[in-house]
Amino acid sequence: MDRPESQEKQEFAQEIGIESIDTLDADYLFYFTFDAEENKGTEMETQWLEHPLWQKLEVVKEGNAYAVSDAVWTSSSGIMAANLILDDLSQSILSQESLD
């Protein structure tokens, strides 16, 4: 899987605003929210998922945008976390490719 040029970054993560949603288009998109207190992450996720720019993304239209666990994908390390990430990839990408 190649990353779109707009996503080629050296940083671990980059916070973006809702106006930058169009830079997220790709073949597959894995996203997470951090919901430390007061369900702010959940509120933000809902706001983004319902936004017209999100709905226009080809990756969303094709059903290839997947919510993943921030704890597993960003905070965990080691073989157990790696296997959980591989499980996520298997359940999304590999199952989608078997339908094609």
pTM equals 0.77
Give strand pairing partners of 67. Answer: 31
Q: Find out whether 24 and 57 touch, Cβ atoms under 8 Å.
A: yes
CB 15 within 8 Å of CB 48: no
Which helix (DSSP H) or strand (DSSP E) does residue 97 occupy? helix 95-99
What token pair was written down for 30? Answer: 């894995």
Among candidate residues 96, 26, 100, 92, the one with its CA nearest the CA of residue 57: 26
pLDDT score for 48: 92
DSSP 17: -
Fold exhibited by the domain 16-99 = Rossmann fold (3.40.50)
DSSP string computed for 25-58: -SS-EEE-----STTHHHHHHHHHHTSHHHHH-H
pLDDT value at residue 77 = 79
Where are the domains positioned within the chain?
16-99
pLDDT in tens, 20-40: 888 888 889 988 887 666 767
